[in-house]
Structure 1
């Protein structure tokens, strides 16, 4: 080999050995604001339409007249308003649940202390509205709402027993699904498969700690019933996934017996009698990688020694499971570890604080410790896992915090922390780069955000997020105002060698 070739080879090898780096930057783009009226009870929700924009659901209730108005605003990918539609519910009809699919947003209303219901269907493309009247047959407490084609499936409780009502938009008839209204059962989740035209009702038997998945046809006929778990391992929640051939998979978290604390995740093929796959948290390679390397290694060593002595290692956590993220390789499960606490509402100018019930206890504040990620292939095989710290992020509402987007082989995970947006870049089981915390700003240099409430984040399209929430804004240290704001955030990643 010539000396020149050797020199080029050495230089090439030197660059290969340099540490890999990713530079990233989060940039705030357009911001829109809505001034809040102190005499009104207002609520705002965002529904991502990906590249087609975003829908803002804005409800305004006169607390004295008990009259509600709902405004729908559709914005394009630049946050330019395309159309606005308004709707006024009938007297005594309370806004209950919403459900979104690719074409429509469905809004469920129920008459106070009655069985009458109304369903508003909003066309996400045009803003056209359809309003349908119906009846629940029983004065149930509604907990779940989903839609398959032209039928709504409404789940909840009646006389402390579960019930699911199927309501047809065409002929306005209602039907109670069979084999559900029984003692010791509660509805965990409901899901639909548009591809297979079936409805899944997931039930928890609180007496024998069994998790039951009931499948119904589009006509409401029972098709199948599968019982999972025992007093050692019982699924807590489940998300339905469909493989390329249409085979349904159930993915979720499980506990020991009837405990609300998760000890791992599971995967079950619902099309055959295959054995359920359990993966304990202690078997994940990076469950503790959100910690400092020294602390992570210390905990892993304790677990290893216990397993060598033949002892079971069970890591118990409260887990908030997200919707499963589809990827070209398969799926990503994201879940946040949290714990509830009671905290008296602070007098911060915002009146819409809410309480949540877990078991027999009521909480109105939640602290998040970390989030776990698990990557699966299309057959449900675990490929990798990772975790990121949430550094005691807290919120008055129990809702998903971490949002995920993808650029090439990297995933950008971002989450709100009061008035800051924080993020980390991962590549499967590797941590690549912590992004700088980003401080949300107003549209004017003369104004400053002095307080925030319920700051949320959603992954939008491409390399963008939407940050939204309630804020107190002060101008020139004199006057202040309360607003609801939406800000577009974009990022760029550049790969290189340090």
Structure 2
């Protein structure tokens, strides 16, 4: 009787142990005594496994606001703290990092002025460069190579995206050559440090047909190459991300449509230097886990319906909107992540299109996320696996990245997002689908303290398989009154 009971128990223990081994830890937490009503905080991961905490503290009638940047190491211990001098009305825009520097952009005293702080990560010493750029009214994203800034911005005159080159040494500003129009958008911009080049991927469409254009510039903004991916008779490339690496091995990984330019039917890969005839196309119907957000009976009916459409020569009715993330290198090749969403708006485009709030789109009432998607490819662009993370009840008013994704070289993918004082996550081992997502409750520094409320919760991928969760906690220490702190929790997988 004893042996008969022991065997099932042993099976349960062996089954649960791998799941417990993947439970994330919270090895470090930082609590800052800041005033939530007077302080703006940005948490910026740096490439040396540190975090930069940028604060703007409101001034008084007689003193201007103060700006400071504090560096914390991988254990959230302070490394240095620097006060920086900016225009009093300055606001953070975005940042870019590549060792040994981080570059942070700010607005200036008026809509024409932009400030860039170049920060030495080792000691906190910095220089500031100011530019008066009358041709633009906002900056979406920028990259830096050899002291030169490549800036994707919005034209003040037309409202369309434009690409500028800023020379840090001379202060010269010049527009870079490209075909810009109402339907032109930038879908990716990537620095190649080894060759000191910048690749810019553009999508152009007239609403019916589209093409992709990849421009390669050297550090001083000289156009080196221009490549086009043209549509085929039944497949129209829409948006794409570019892979890192040398110029002979770079791929475009993107999506394509068939009936409309508003919805994608699948994913394609193609060498940057090749034509559309070298593309590999993967319909969503070919994916193993793409439809796991559906109930099994619903997925079965859908696949049967699509099989009949294919037999009768009709186009696929499976169409989705995707918001791309970056491409991550892996031992096998590359991993691409994306968010699948719907919207109640009839206008607007989709995918990774830069705008003042992250993406340049019309203003629908709400975006509903269906799932997060991860795809593994080899170095030739052959699809190896797919996996998904269904997202329920996730709605946003703007189309920005809602989940954070990090990967390891061996292909493990962790997707996570914050919800109040909890972190919801899923660990993906290639195409091994796990039905349930997991939940992690954030811990306080004092185990006897309790979180009373959470405000403005955020999450950023940090380094390796580590995230930084941050926001404002009202906590109740034991036998003391409640207090408000700005928290940062390290979450390690």
TM range (shorter): 0.7 to 0.9
Name 2:389's counterpart in structure 1: 388
Count of residues in correspondence between the two structures: 464
Who is 2:4 aligned against?
none
Residue matched to 1:195: 194
- Call closer, same or farther: CA 1:96–1:21 in 2, change over 3 Å: closer
- Residue-by-residue CA offset, 1:293-335 (whole Å, 9 max, x unaligned): 4444443333334333333224322322111121111111111
Cα distance in 2 for residues equivalent to 1:139 and 1:243: 32
What secondary structure does 2:19 align onto? strand
Query: Which of 418, 431, 443 pairs up with 1:416?
Result: 418
Match of 1:473 in 2: 475
Q: For the structure 1 residues 296 and 417, does the alpha-carbon distance in structure 2 shift closer, same or farther, using more than 3 Å as the test?
A: farther
8 Å Cα contact 2:201/2:242 also seen in 1: no
Pairwise CA distance, 1:435: 6.2
Alignment CA distance shift 1:143-1:245 (3 Å) = closer
Equivalents in 2 of 1:60, 1:233: separation in Å?
52
Contact (CA 8 Å) 2:335, 2:374: kept in 1 or not? yes
- How far does residue 374 in structure 1 lie from its aligned partner after superposition? 0.8
TM-score, normalised via structure 2 length:
0.81
Of 152-161 and 86-95, more deviation after overlay is shown by 86-95
Alpha carbons 2:324, 2:337 under 8 Å: kept: yes
> Which structure 2 segments of 5+ residues have no match?
1-6, 346-355
Superposition map of 1:173-192 within 5 A: 173-181=172-180, 184-192=183-191
The residue that corresponds to 2:27 in the other structure is: 29
- Deviations 1:204-247, CA, capped at 9 Å, x for gaps: 33425333322223232223333335495444432221346753
The answer for the alignment partner of 1:281 in structure 2 is: 284
Matches within 5 A, 1:38-53: 38-49=36-47, 52-53=49-50
What is the CA–CA distance in structure 2 between the aligned matches of 1:450 and 1:282, rounded to whole Å?
46
Separation (CA, whole Å) in 2 of partners of 1:247 and 1:335: 22
Q: What residue ranges of structure 1 are gaps of 5+ in the alignment?
A: 1-10, 343-353, 492-498
Encode CA deviations 1:79-122: one digit per residue, 9 max, x unaligned. 11111122121345543332122321112234344544332101
1:60 to 51, 57, 60: 57
Shift of 1:130: 1.5
- The 3 A distance-change label for structure 1 pair 237 and 427 is same
Q: Is the 8 A contact 1:209 1:258 kept in 2?
A: no
Corresponding position of 1:426: 428
Give secondary structure in 2 for the equivalent of 1:361: coil
Distance 1:462 1:118, change over 3 A: closer
Q: CA deviation at 1:402?
A: 3.7
Which stretch of the first structure deviates more once superposed, 406-415 or 94-103? Answer: 406-415
Per-residue deviation at 1:66? 10
Match of 2:82 among 77, 82, 85: 85
Task: Give the alignment's TM-score, normalised by structure 1.
Answer: 0.81
Q: 1:386 to 1:271 in 2, by over 3 A?
A: same
- 1:310 and 2:309 correspond: no
Aligned to 1:73: 70
User: Contact 2:421/2:454 (CA < 8 Å) preserved in 1?
Assistant: yes
Q: After TM superposition, list the pairs within 5 Å mapping 1:19-418 onto structure 2.
A: 22-24=18-20, 25-49=23-47, 52-62=49-59, 67-91=64-88, 93-113=90-110, 115-136=112-133, 138-158=135-155, 159-160=157-158, 161-181=160-180, 184-207=183-206, 209-230=210-231, 233-243=235-245, 246-256=248-258, 259-273=261-275, 274-340=277-343, 359-363=361-365, 366-395=367-396, 398-406=400-408, 410-418=412-420
SS at match of 1:323: strand
For 1:249 and 1:418, how far apart are their aligned partners in 2? 38
Task: Give 1:6's aligned residue.
Answer: none
Deviation of 1:474 (Å): 4.4
Q: Relative contact order (C-alpha < 8 Å, sep 6+): which is higher?
A: 1
1:96 counterpart SS class = strand
Alignment correspondent of 2:348? none
SS in 2 for 1:322: strand
